[in-house]
Every structure is written in structure tokens, then in C-alpha cells.
Amino acid sequence: MATRVKGATINAMSARARTYGGATAGERQARRRGALIDAATDVIAESGVAGLTVRGVCVAARLNDRYFYESFANTDDLLVAAFDTQMTAAAAEMVAALSASPPDPLLRARAAIASGLGYLTADPRRGHLLIESQATEALRARRREVIGTLAAIMAEQGRALLPIENPLDTDIDLAAWTLVAGGLDLVTGWLRGEVEVDRAHLEEFLVAMVTARRLA
């Protein structure tokens, strides 16, 4: 009986050690990682990628430096994680908008573009992050991967909705890549203030570009 009681006591102590404030060690690490990503997004919006340091982002996140290295090897890793967080969320919004739209090329293009622009402009920090997405080689590489992913989605939509004679035509993929890469550069320039049109005009132009429709 004593052995069982001792074992139960040890198990209870072990369970308490695995949780703190109702959260497991893995959950606490995920929260710290999220806090660092959020702090990095703040720093980039205020000072650009050049202003991001391990010490600075830890101060902003109110975390000890040692917690940085449990999730990231260096600031490049953190930059890519911050970019991934925002671009993944933006892509998810666009895919959700596509899924909720009728099977009409114009309506789906408008829904996807409106949701993407809406996401980017809902929080000014997201626009700053996109502007800074070519500041380092790691970010440039990740940006190219995002373009590839969005281009694949666009090509898939085109094959499903448009009267294409040869769905295997590689020009469809090339066209999708060109439209996504060009559109992303245009939006980046607009966020930077280099393209002086309002959001409604930009959205209408992007829809027209994607659907090969003439502007009114």
C-alpha cells in the first residue's frame, strides 16, 4: 500500500511539474514563440528589418533572452516566422473567400483580391512586413515560395473555371506566376506610397488584370 501511495504522490507531483498556470510546457513555449513573433512584427513596423535584434525583440516581448533560442536560431528564423504567420493567414482568408464564392471567375477573383487587400490593410504592421519582405535573402526566398503557392492556387482555379482547351498547358502556370508576382509587387508599391490610387481602384485593376477584363 505504501508503495502505491508513494507512486501516486510522485505522479501527482510530476503532473503539476508538467503544467503551470493551467498550461503544459509545450503550450507555454508556443505562447512565448507567438509573443516573440508579435513583438518582431511591431519592431519591423517601427524600425524595419534592420532594427530587429535578439535583445530588442525580447525586451519588446518581455521575455528573457534565453527564451528566444528555444524557438529560433537567429533573427533570420524569426523574420521568416513572422512573414509566414501573416502570409499564411492572408492566404487562408483568400482561400476561404474563394470557397464561399459562386463558381464564376470574376466573382471569385474579386472575392480573393478583396479579402487579401482587406487582410493586409486591417493591421498596418502587415503592410510593413510585406514591404520589408525583400530585405534579406531568407525573406526573399520565402516570398518566392509564397508566390509559388498563390500561383498554384490561381492556376488550379483557372483550370477549374475557364474554358481551357488543354488543362496541362504549362503556359497556364506561367501566366499565374506572372500575375501573382506582378500583383504582389504592385501591392507592395502601393503600400509603400509609390502607387497613388485608392484601394478601390487598385482592387478593380487587379481583378481586371487577373480576369483579362477591360476596366470600365
Q: What is the pLDDT of residues 65-92, one digit of tens each?
A: 999 999 999 999 999 999 999 999 998 9
Q: How far is CA 21 from the centre of its chain?
A: 30
Which residue spans within the chain are E strands per DSSP? 19-20, 23-24
Q: Does some domain include residue 65? A: no
Q: Does some domain include residue 123? A: yes
pLDDT at position 11, please? 53
At 118, which CATH number?
1.10.357
Q: Does some domain include residue 35? A: no
Q: Which residue has the higher pLDDT, 21 or 35?
A: 35
Q: Does some domain include residue 67? A: no
SS3 144: helix
Count of domains in the chain? 1
Q: Which residue has the higher pLDDT, 189 or 16?
A: 189
Confidence band (pLDDT; 50, 70, 90) for 159? Answer: confident
pLDDT at position 12, please? 47
For the chain, the average pLDDT equals 87
Q: How far is CA 108 from CA 114, 158, 164, 211, in A?
A: 10, 10, 17, 10
Q: Does some domain include residue 203? A: yes
Q: Does some domain include residue 190? A: yes
Identify the domain containing residue 166 by its residue range.
Answer: 80-211
Rounded percentage of the chain residues whose pLDDT exceeds 90: 67
Q: What is the pLDDT of residues 160-198, one digit of tens each?
A: 877 666 667 788 899 999 999 999 999 999 999 999 999
- pLDDT over 50 (residue 3): no
- Rounded mean pLDDT of 10-33? 71
- Rounded mean pLDDT of 144-156? 91
Q: Does some domain include residue 6? A: no
Phi-psi region of 212 (alpha: psi -120 to 50; beta: other; left: phi over 0): left
Q: Does some domain include residue 21? A: no
